[in-house]
Amino acid sequence: MSVADLFPAAQPSATTSADRITIRRPDDWHIHLRDGAMLKAVLPYTAAQFARGIIMPNLVPPVTTVAAARAYRERILAALPDGMDFTPLMTCYLRDDTDPDEIERGFAEKVWIAAKLYPAGATTNSHAGVTDLIGLAPVLERMERIGMPLLIHGEATDPEIDIFDREAAFMEGSLIPLLARHQGLKVTVEHATTAEILDVVRANRTRVAATITPHHLVINRTHIFQGGLRPHLYCLPVAKRERHRLALRAAATSGEACFFLGTDTAPHVRGAKEASCGCAGVFCGPSALQTYVQVFDEEGALDRFEAFASLNGARFHGIAPNAATVTLERRGSRVIEAVAVEDTAVVVFRGDETLPWAVV
């Protein structure tokens, strides 16, 4: 399978010039690949756009040991189509009973690049996550000492808190105190959705960063209900008000090193989304780069796109940027509507739309 197989030839637009931008091949610092048939179906779309990616560990059962992480990495590499290259960067799923020695061993052996903190019950397959941040102190102190980054799904889980306020509640009640207790800990606030969390990241920029998704740059909370309920736009953290979307666009395109690309591409089959209790997750693997570059173009910031997509994340994690390049061109490209998975499919974010930029 080749990139051309995944992204059919784009048709030149009659209303725009064929501008091109070539950047170092980007990395995706937040990916859900799932496992089995789903992994095999969605992995090629990520590998076609990104050289490396941080793989989320919320499988069933979750990836909590070095052995489980090694085995999952091998399954990902086995699912990679011939002729495609992609490096999975594995993470550990933190629990209340996580062993600091296991954390250090996996990091020292370069099995894990980071550890992932899911507040228990916050999102998909997070029920086994952390219930007590104070009790997790020995693990966080060890990570602080060895320089291992902590990746945070930053939402409070109290059901009395409005779903649109859960990121803010986590920031005030958990994140800010955690940063004060562990002043040497490197932290990535994943899939940031509010202006306030961006300010916290900026205030701690020497050791705190945030990933920003393509969908949170494009939709606000109104889009989820526009013309009816749109389950394929429902994700966690849920999209917020328009002022937050504009703040995210300003941050992503600012050139600030503390913000970088993380798609949070999260596939669920159509039946799991279009259900009486639908799953949270937006599958943007096939349309991610086209969406990001469109936003940077609209904001007049194409000269800052490479930093956001290809440099800032690598610098934060202490690894070299990729040597290879990718080219995008300003011309109409039709996004596939869905990706087949066995006898069903996963609906693509912006699927069946013609986007103004194409991956060449």
179 in a known ligand binding site: no
SS3 281: coil
268 in a known ligand binding site: yes
Strand partners, 282: 265
317 in a known ligand binding site: no
SS3 sequence, 98-143? CCHHHHHHHHHCCCEEEEEECECCCCCCCCCCECCCCCCHHHHHHH
**Cβ 51 vs Cβ 87: under 8 Å:** yes
Buried b (16+ CB within 10 A) or exposed e, 125-161: bbebbbeebeebeebbebbbeeebbbbbbbbbbeeee
6 in a known ligand binding site: no
220 in a known ligand binding site: no
For the question of residue 264 being annotated catalytic, the response is yes
Cα four-point dihedral sign 229, 231, 237, 240:
negative
Q: Which of 264, 297, 303, 343 is catalytic?
A: 264
Under 8 Å CB-to-CB from 75, ≥6 apart: which residues?
Answer: 35, 39
CA 174 to chain CA centroid, Å, is 21
Give, in order, the Cα–Cα distances in Å from 143 to each of 104, 134, 138, 150, 163: 7, 15, 9, 8, 30
CA dist., res. 355 & res. 271, Å (int):
26
**Cβ 331 vs Cβ 12: under 8 Å:** yes
Ramachandran bin of 279, using left for φ above 0, alpha for ψ from -120 to 50, beta for the remaining angles: beta
215 in a known ligand binding site: no
223 in a known ligand binding site: no
191 in a known ligand binding site: yes
Q: Which residues are annotated as a binding site?
A: 30, 32-34, 58, 116, 153, 191, 236, 264, 268, 280
- Residue positions in the annotated binding site for Zn(2+)? 30, 32, 116, 153, 191, 264
Binding residues for substrate: 32-34, 58, 153, 236, 268, 280
Active-site annotation, residues? 264
